[in-house]
Amino acid sequence: MVDGNLQSPSLHCYFAIDNRIGLAQALASQEPTRNFVRQVTGSNLWVLTRGDLGTDFRGLPDGERLRSLMADLRAAFEYVLVDVPPLSNFSDAAMFARLSDGVVLVLESCSTRRECARKAKVRLESAGVRVLGAVLNKRTFPIPQSLYDRL
């Protein structure tokens, strides 16, 4: 998993991993990307946190270094999942999306409007990004069994 959310990283909190070294350092370095990825204790999950941005971090590079980093991760791991900021901050999310095989939209129940979700999907598709599906999170009421039966 890669924490591509530069403004509000969270994966280091979920997995109790130090966030001093990660994506920012991997992008600034010529070292192999694998040197910046850490395994979650007791699992087969590896995480590339955002890392410390420091004062001289200029944001995601537009081209070859990010492409190279993603290629390194794809070569080293069977699956690469990238957590990106909301699509309202489209530039960071779009950069990662263009380098991926597809995107899963995460929609917050009772918060994300249907029209906003539809626009996000159209925007991604018009940018040449494959939308694989959507996840509805923070749902507070049960889904009727009859709906599950139809799936």
pLDDT of residue 80: 94
Range of the domain at 39: 1-101
87 & 108 share domain:
no
Q: In terms of domains, do 53 and 86 share one?
A: yes
Tell me: do 113 and 141 sit in the same domain: yes
Q: Which residue has tokens 């599950």? A: 148
What angle is formed at CA 44 by the lines to CA 11 and CA 42, rounded to 5 degrees?
85
Query: Which among 105, 113, 107, 103 is positioned nearest to 136, based on CA atoms?
Result: 107
96 and 133 within one domain: no
Alpha helices in the chain (DSSP H): 11-14, 23-28, 64-76, 90-98, 114-126, 145-150
Q: What is the per-residue pLDDT for 144? A: 78
Q: Are residues 134 and 95 in the same domain?
A: no
107 and 82 housed in the same domain: no
Number of residues that this document lists for the chain: 151
Q: What is the pTM of this model?
A: 0.80
Check residue 57 and give its pLDDT: 64
- Three-point CA angle 43, 45, 49, nearest 5°: 130
What does each of the 151 residues of the chain score in pLDDT, given as a tens digit? 999 888 889 999 999 999 999 999 998 888 999 899 999 999 999 999 999 887 566 666 667 888 899 999 999 999 999 998 887 765 778 788 888 899 999 888 888 888 888 988 998 898 889 999 988 888 777 777 887 677 6
pLDDT value, residue 58: 63
Question: Are 53 and 79 found together in one domain?
Answer: yes
Residue 112, pLDDT score: 83
CATH code for the domain in which residue 95 is found: 3.40.50.300
Same domain for 10 and 34: yes
Q: Are residues 72 and 146 in the same domain?
A: no
Same domain? 75 vs 41: yes
Residue 99 CA to residue 129 CA, distance in Å, equals 9
Report how far residue 33's alpha carbon sits from residue 76's, in angstroms, rounded to the nearest whole number. 9
7 and 67 inside one domain: yes
What is the secondary structure of 100-119 as a DSSP string? SS-EEEEEETTTS-HHHHHH
Q: In this structure, which amino acid lies at residue 146?
A: S
pLDDT of residue 85: 83
d(CA 120, CA 141): 25
Total domain count, the chain:
2
Residue 70 confidence (pLDDT):
92
Rounded Cα distance between 87 and 93, Å, is 6
Whether 106 and 40 share a structural domain:
no
